[in-house]
């Protein structure tokens, strides 16, 4: 078959250095659910030794979180995230698309409902048409679930113009078997919002950077540090104890993690969780598609949060925020889960 970029697939030398970084390998201890094992499967799909549509092969395309934790540890620099997108782009065609994903993709594609819901939920008001930027991306998930995040981002930097029109950058589509559509949506967004696009979602940042170029995109913490928007150090006040949850695509895809700590460290005392950099199990649509694995992946993190004795957990991606908030509540912890924007705007 001709599913994968042969240059990217050819890069893997099967050394196995990715195994200890992989959350699903940690769950199963099974080569087939490791990045190297999945790449062996991809090679098998290409040379015909396994079928793309074999249920056991499909299971591995589905079980992968797509967190890309295997990429920074890869000695050969394999772009695993791209290979996974290409895999699902073929494997999740037509009736093979997971049924839970379909309404989500449809909803974010036709954004009228999204706009109405978002407005009802009172996210930040979009700015004027044809503004030169910098623009604030009103992400599709945030509009509906966390409308306060865009208002908080505007409070941190009033110069940010909330972008008009559809908010979805297409990351959701690219990660769920609609690679071409996801890229087209990102390009359309880039045309509509010229200049720098600032996003409060790690997943959107990595997808947009991949399509539009790294220089067009800034994640909020990068923006705050770059523009010198850090609040002056507060003295004499009790600083909250804060744990950070990295965004996988932000950290593993774009290498952004230090600016988050610079920003949080300006207003709070950082308590690093041992698993701060590890996937929380939200992983886009993963927590909906595979709730059992998702719950197993977040369980040790909730124990760490309980042990750390923190006041807040700060996230930089709406999916992580939802996942952690749900898990922390379910565990009965008195810990608030907030977005970086909300912390920086002094709303927490």
Partner 1 sequence: MTGRTAGAVDEQVIDRLRDAVGARWVRTDAATRRAYARDATPLFDAEPDVVVQPGTTAEVAAVVRIAAAHGVPVVARGAGTNLCAATVATHGGIVLSATRMDRLLEVSEAEQLAVVQPGVTTTALATAAAAAGLLYPPDPGSRAVSTIGGNVATCAGGLRGLKYGVTRNYVLGTEAVLGTGEIIRTGGRLVKDVAGYDLTRLLVGSEGTLAVLTEITVALVPAPPTAGYGVAYFDSLADAGRAVAAVVGAGLVPATLEFLDATCIEAVESHAGLGLDRGAGALLLFGDDGAPAQVDAALATMVTACRDAGARAVTTAPDVATAEDLLAARRCTLPALSRLGSLTVLEDVSVPRPRLAEAVARIGDIARGTGVRVGVFGHAGDGNLHPTAVADGQDPAQVAAVHRTFEQIFQLALDLGGTITGEHGVGAAKLAWLPRRLDPAQLALMRRLKAAFDPAGILNPGKLGS
* Binding residues vs partner 1 (CB under 8 A): 6-7, 10-11, 13-17, 19-20, 29-32, 34, 36-38, 40-41, 44, 49-51, 54-57, 59-60, 75-77
Q: Which is nearer to partner 1, 15 or 299 (CB)?
A: 15
Decide whether 56 or 106 has the Cβ nearer to partner 1.
56
Residue 260 in contact with residue 244, Cβ under 8 Å?
yes
260 φ/ψ angles, rounded to the nearest 5 degrees: -60, -45
- Between 48 and 236, name the residue whose CB sits nearer to partner 1: 48
* Burial (Cβ within 10 Å: 0-12, 13-18, ≥19) of residue 50: middle
The least distance separating partner 1 from the CB of residue 62, rounded to whole angstroms, comes to 12
Q: Which is nearer to partner 1, 30 or 272 (CB)?
A: 30
Residue 17 vs 192, nearer CB to partner 1 = 17
Rounded (5°) CA angle 314-317-323? 75
Beta carbon nearer to partner 1, 63 or 205: 63
Nearest approach, Cβ of residue 198 and partner 1 (Å): 30
Please confirm whether the linkage preceding 134 is cis (ω < 30° from 0): yes
Per-residue burial over 141-150, b = 16 or more CB atoms within 10 Å of its CB, e = otherwise: bbbbbbbbbb
In the complex, the smallest distance separating the C-beta of residue 64 from partner 1, rounded to whole angstroms, is 12
Minimal distance, residue 56 CB to partner 1, in Å: 4
Closest distance to partner 1 from the beta carbon of 63 (Å): 10
Taking the complex as a whole, the smallest distance from the CB of residue 72 to partner 1 amounts, in Å, to 12
In whole angstroms, give the CA distance from residue 250 to residue 225.
16
90: helix, strand or coil:
helix
Which residue lies nearer to partner 1 by CB, 55 or 94?
55
State the Cα–Cα distance between residues 336 and 72, nearest whole angstrom.
Answer: 30
Contacts of residue 19, Cβ cutoff 8 Å, sequence gap at least 6 = 25, 34, 35, 36
Closest CA relative to residue 135, chosen from 147, 126, 143, 144: 126
| Full DSSP string of 125-142 | PP--TT--S-EE---HHH
Minimum CB distance to partner 1, residue 29 (Å) = 3
CA-to-CA separations, 33 to 5, 39, 68, in angstroms, rounded: 21, 10, 13
């Amino acid at each position: 078959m001709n599913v994968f970029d042969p240059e990217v697939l050819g890069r893997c030398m099967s050394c196995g250095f990715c195994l200890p970084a992989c959350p699903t390998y940690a769950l199963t201890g099974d080569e087939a659910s490791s990045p190297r094992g999945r790449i062996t499967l991809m090679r098998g799909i290409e040379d015909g030794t396994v079928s793309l549509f074999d249920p056991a092969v499909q299971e591995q395309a589905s079980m992968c979180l797509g967190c890309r934790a295997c990429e920074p540890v890869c000695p050969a620099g394999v772009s695993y995230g791209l290979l996974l997108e290409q895999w699902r782009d073929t494997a999740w065609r037509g009736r093979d698309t997971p049924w839970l994903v379909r309404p989500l993709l449809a909803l974010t594609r036709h954004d009228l409902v999204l706009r109405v819901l978002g407005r009802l939920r009172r996210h930040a008001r979009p700015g004027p048409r044809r503004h030169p930027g910098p623009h604030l991306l009103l992400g599709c998930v945030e509009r509906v679930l966390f409308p306060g995040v865009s208002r908080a981002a505007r409070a941190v930097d009033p110069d940010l113009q909330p972008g008009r029109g559809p908010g979805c950058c297409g990351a959701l589509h690219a990660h769920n078997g609609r690679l071409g559509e996801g890229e087209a949506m990102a390009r359309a967004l880039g045309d509509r919002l010229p200049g720098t696009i600032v996003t409060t979602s790690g997943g959107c940042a990595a997808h947009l950077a991949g399509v539009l170029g790294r220089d067009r995109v800034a994640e909020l913490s990068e923006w705050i540090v770059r523009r010198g928007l850090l609040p002056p150090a507060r003295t004499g006040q009790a600083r909250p104890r804060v744990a950070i949850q990295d965004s996988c695509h932000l950290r593993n895809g774009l290498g952004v993690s230090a600016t988050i700590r610079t920003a949080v460290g300006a207003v709070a005392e950082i308590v690093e969780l041992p698993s701060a950099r590890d996937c929380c199990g939200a992983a886009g649509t993963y927590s909906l598609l595979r709730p059992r694995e998702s719950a197993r992946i977040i369980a040790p993190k909730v124990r760490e949060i309980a042990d750390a004795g923190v006041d807040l957990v700060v996230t930089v991606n709406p999916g992580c925020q939802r996942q952690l908030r749900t898990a922390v509540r379910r565990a009965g912890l008195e810990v608030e889960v907030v977005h970086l924007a909300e912390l920086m705007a002094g709303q927490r």
